[in-house]
A and B are shown apart, each in its own frame.
Chain A
Amino acid sequence: METPKPRVAVHKFSSCDGCQLALLNLGEDLLTLAERVELVHFAEAGPLDPDTEVDVAFVEGSVSTPEDIERIQHIRQHSRLLIAIGACATAGGIQALRNGADGAQWIAQIYSHPEAISSLAQSTPIASHVKVDFELWGCPVSGVQMLAVVNSLLLGVAPRDNADKVCTECKRNGYPCVMVSRGIACMGPVTRAGCGALCPGLGRDCYGCYGPAENANTDALAAQFASLGLTPLDIVQRFQSINSQAPVFLAAADKLRMRGDG
């Protein structure tokens, strides 16, 4: 049964490190994990060896600078499997809000030495640049999801992709629907499960940080948001947040804008 431990790297691109923290925060499970895989590169945890050959590369963050473009190619060439983790890596992240704006103008307004900033006009997901074997959505991803992915890889099978809605987890947890009981604009019905319905469980509306679910009926949800009293601009902003460039959310926002509502 004893096979060599899979070699694993965790890489960071443009991101806040929150997804790597999901791994670091696993506590005891991380120790068990360290016995079953060889963590060869994980800057946040210590090991540094970004150029080595690995079985699995977890990539956090979006491609946002000219240097990122070269680096992701290099990682792809040296990794048997490449797994994008988190909203930045799967949809461009919060920083992709600049994709629809004049980024150069923002830089000029914010930084005293704008010429020192080297960034691409667009923040893009990893899959826009290289082949990605599996995407784990979320901002941040959850430790439970990370473990499930690693476990699947250790078993030699593809990770389970759950694109069902947040509502499925919300109802299993016994949370009453906040959209119905409080009239707040919850993104749960169009958002991917995986977080365990964290926000609705605290009486808050889901804000879509896990990205679009399968068969997301954004038109119907937008119509309901309008009848809850949201302005067209409010509704556009619901879809234009952490996963603004996820195609389904972007299309929903564009549709509202084209109608002149937003």
Chain B
Amino acid sequence: MFSSQPNHARFLPLAQLHTLVAKLMQLAYQCLGPAVENGAIVMRELDAPDGLPRGLQAEQSPGRYRLTRDPLNRYFAWANGPQAIKPQAFAPKESLWRVERDDAGALQFAAVEAVAPAQAIIGVRACDLAALALQDAHFLSAGRRDAHYAKRRELLFLVAVQCAEPGATCFCASTGDGPTPTAGYDLALAELAEGFVAVAGSAKGGAVLDALNLSPATPQQIDAARQQGQAAAAAQTRSLPGRNLREALMSRLEHPRWDEVAARCLACGNCTAVCPTCFCHAEADEPALDGQSSRHERVWDSCFGESHGYLHGFNVRSDIRSRYRQWFTHKLATWHDQFGRSGCVGCGRCIAWCPVGIDLTEEVAALTAGVQP
């Protein structure tokens, strides 16, 4: 978010943060920001321009997430919560099309258009933006553009923030995706003691920033923000090897570690639900009770579920070992074939939100031990 371009960065004093939210609300965006629910920081609609909470923070470790207070009472000193952008662009449940059946049995099909509000999400992270770029590559690629995703996606306004306080489960520095946002945002903020260094990343972000009539950020402020990002990267305690793991993992498909991790894995699919890049979804019909119409729905699905590998009378992946291996090798190995990079952006959600605390970075280390870097 820091370039050498003069005056690209502005300074938004703490006391004026509400003017940014007010501007977005004035532009008819439904504004989502951090809120506490069920003991976690989630993204929920803000009811007023000054509705952003201060001092939220959470401690994260494998299988554990606990709210704490930020002693400095900052707005964004929390690392990511269980979800950020994914549910807003790739809806957990939506209707794709519907069919009417008349008394003679004739069928009439019609697409169902996505009903999506224009949403501004305030507080997305660099890892989330990197993940969104992958979801875009999947759902918007030429020849198979997903109309529902496309509609939601184009209505998003993304206000990113630089991570100053990574969670213990974070490793975005090692995947090259954070902690400072570099692309994919409309606006990006870096929170300093007295206010925010703010930069625009899109024309619509630029228009919002211009409308706030802010002074340019000083070189000292920009430098402080840059150093804050470097410190946050240095503070990360987990990492993935900074190389393509494809060959290393695909040459270890019968490694005993798969059995060992399968014994611990619940196959609950939580890792896939919180993973910001996972895109699997199931399709199913929901017929109306009067027998005259049916909706064809899609819902988030998981390769840890029973029906994922089901085909015509048998299951390709009936045991937990093969399901874990499918997820893991897709995310870290064969994702390269499909998208030209790994499917992991280092957000650490699969580690924190695994109910039994399976640590992806630890599994990588165990599976690739002895492989030449």
Using a CB–CB cutoff of 8 Å, the interface residues on chain A facing chain B are 1, 29, 32-33, 35-36, 147-148, 150-151, 154-155, 160, 162-165, 167-168, 171-183, 186, 188-190, 200, 203, 214-215, 217, 219-221, 223-224
**Are A176 and B38 in contact, with the CB atoms below 8 A?**
yes
Inter-chain contacts of B95 with A (CB < 8 A): none
Complex contact B105–A167 (CB within 8 A): no
Partner of B356, one of A163, A173, A224: A224
Contacts of A189 in B (CB 8 A): 266, 268, 270, 355
Contact call A176/B306, Cβ cutoff below 8 A: no
Closest approach, in angstroms, between the C-beta of B6 and any C-beta of chain A?
43
CB <8 Å contact, B266 and A171: no
Are A190 and B42 in contact, with the CB atoms below 8 A?
no
Most-contacted residue by chain A among B265, B268, B274 (CB, 10 A): B268
**A29, closest chain B residue (CB):** B289
The residue on A at minimum CB distance from B319 is: A215
Q: Give every chain A residue within 8 A of B270 (Cβ-Cβ).
A: 167, 171, 177, 189
Indicate if the CB atoms of B38 and A217 lie closer than 8 Å: no
Contact of B268 among A36, A148, A150, A188 (CB under 8 A): A188
Given A36-B290, A171-B274, A224-B356, decide whether A176 and B39 contact each other with a Cβ distance below 8 A: yes
B103 within 8 A of A: yes
**B104 beta carbon closer than 8 Å to chain A:** yes
* With A190-B266, A215-B319: A163-B291 Cβ-Cβ less than 8 Å: no
B355 touches A168 (CB 8 A): no
Question: A164 is contacted by which of B82, B263, B306 (Cβ under 8 Å)?
Answer: B306
Q: Can you report 15 A-B residue pairs in the complex whose CB atoms are below 8 A from each other?
A: A1-B103, A148-B286, A154-B291, A163-B306, A165-B266, A165-B268, A168-B300, A172-B299, A174-B92, A176-B42, A177-B82, A189-B270, A219-B263, A221-B266, A221-B356
Residues from chain B with Cβ under 8 Å of A217 in the complex: 263, 265-267, 320
User: Contact at A147–B289, with CB atoms within 8 Å?
Assistant: yes
Q: Is B117 in contact with chain A by the CB < 8 A criterion? A: no
* B66 contacts partner chain A, Cβ-Cβ < 8 Å: yes
Given A180-B65, A215-B319, A220-B263, A168 and B39 contact (CB-CB distance below 8 Å):
no
B238 contacts partner chain A, Cβ-Cβ < 8 Å? no
Tell me if B83 is interfacial: C-beta within 8 Å of chain A.
yes
Asked if B27 is an interface residue, CB under 8 A from chain A, the answer is no
Q: Which chain B residue has the least Cβ–Cβ distance from A202? A: B38
Complex interface: chain A residues within 8 A of B42 (CB)? 174, 176
Q: Report which of A147, A172, A181 forms a contact with B93, defined as CB distance below 8 A.
A: A172
Complex contacts, A220 vs chain B, CB 8 Å:
263-266, 356
Check A171–B289 contact: CB distance below 8 A: no
B353 within 8 A of A: yes
Of the candidates A154, A164, A186, the one whose C-beta lies within 8 Å of that of B305 is A164
Q: Which of B66, B306, B356 has a CB less than 8 Å from the CB of A181?
A: B66
> Could you tell me if A180 and B64 are in contact, using CB atoms closer than 8 angstroms?
yes
A33: chain B residues within 8 A (beta carbon): 289
Name the residue of chain A whose CB is nearest to the CB of B352. A180
CB distance from B58 to the nearest CB of A (A): 9
Q: Top 5 closest A-B pairs, CB basis?
A: A171-B273, A181-B39, A176-B40, A189-B268, A167-B268
Q: Mark B329-373, 1 if CB is under 8 A from A, else 0.
A: 000000000000000000000001111110000000000000000
Q: Which residues of chain B in 245-273 are interfacial with respect to chain A, using CB atoms and an 8 Å cutoff?
A: 263-270, 273
Contact A167-B264, Cβ < 8 Å, known A155-B287, A181-B65 = no
B267 touches A215 (CB 8 A): yes
Residue in B63, B286, B352 whose beta carbon sits within 8 Å of that of A224 in the complex: B63
Looking at the assembled complex, report how far the CB atom of B209 sits from the nearest CB atom of chain A, in whole angstroms. 30
* B87 at the A interface (CB under 8 A): yes
How many Å from the CB of A179 to the closest CB on chain B?
Answer: 5
Report which residue of A160, A186, A220 has the largest number of chain B beta carbons within 10 angstroms of its beta carbon.
A220
B236 to chain A, nearest CB (A): 20
User: B360 to nearest A CB, angstroms?
Assistant: 15
Tell me the complex Cα distance, A221–B320, Å. Answer: 14
Given A36-B290, A180-B355, A160:B284 Cβ within 8 A: yes
Of chain B, the residue at the smallest CB distance from A176 is B40
Question: Is the CB–CB distance between A214 and B306 below 8 Å?
Answer: yes
With a cutoff of 8 Å between Cβ atoms, the chain B residues found around residue A32 in the complex are 289-290
CB distance from B23 to the nearest CB of A (A): 27
- Further pairs besides A176-B40, A215-B320, A220-B356: 10, Cβ < 8 Å: A32-B290, A165-B266, A167-B269, A168-B301, A171-B269, A176-B37, A177-B355, A180-B352, A215-B267, A217-B266
Residues A165 and B267 in contact, CB atoms below 8 Å apart: yes
Residue in contact with B269 in the complex, picked from A168, A179, A221, CB distance below 8 Å: A168
Bound complex: CA A117 to CA B253 (Å): 60
Cα separation A190 to B352 with both chains bound (whole Å): 19
Could you say which residues of chain A place their CB within 8 Å of the CB of B103?
A: 1
Q: Which one of A162, A172, A203 contacts B300 once the chains associate, using CB atoms below 8 Å?
A: A172
CA distance A209 to B51 in the complex (A): 39
Q: Which residues of B contact A203 (CB under 8 A)?
A: 38-39
Residues of B contacting A173 with CB < 8 Å? 92
Q: Provide the bound-state CA to CA distance between A200 and B301, in Å.
A: 19
Check: B307 CB closer than 8 A to any chain A CB: yes
CB distance from B109 to the nearest CB of A (A): 17
CB proximity of A149 to chain B, nearest CB, Å: 12
Q: Which residue of A lies closest to B60 (CB)?
A: A180
A183 lies within 8 A of B356 (CB): no
Query: Using a CB-CB cutoff of 8 Å, which residues 283-304 of chain B contact chain A?
Result: 284, 286-287, 289-291, 299-302
* B81 partner residues in chain A, CB cutoff 8 A: 176
Residues of chain B contacted by A35 (CB below 8 angstroms): 290
Chain B residue at minimum C-beta to C-beta distance from A217: B266
Which residues of chain B are within 8 angstroms of A221 by Cβ–Cβ distance? Answer: 266, 355-356
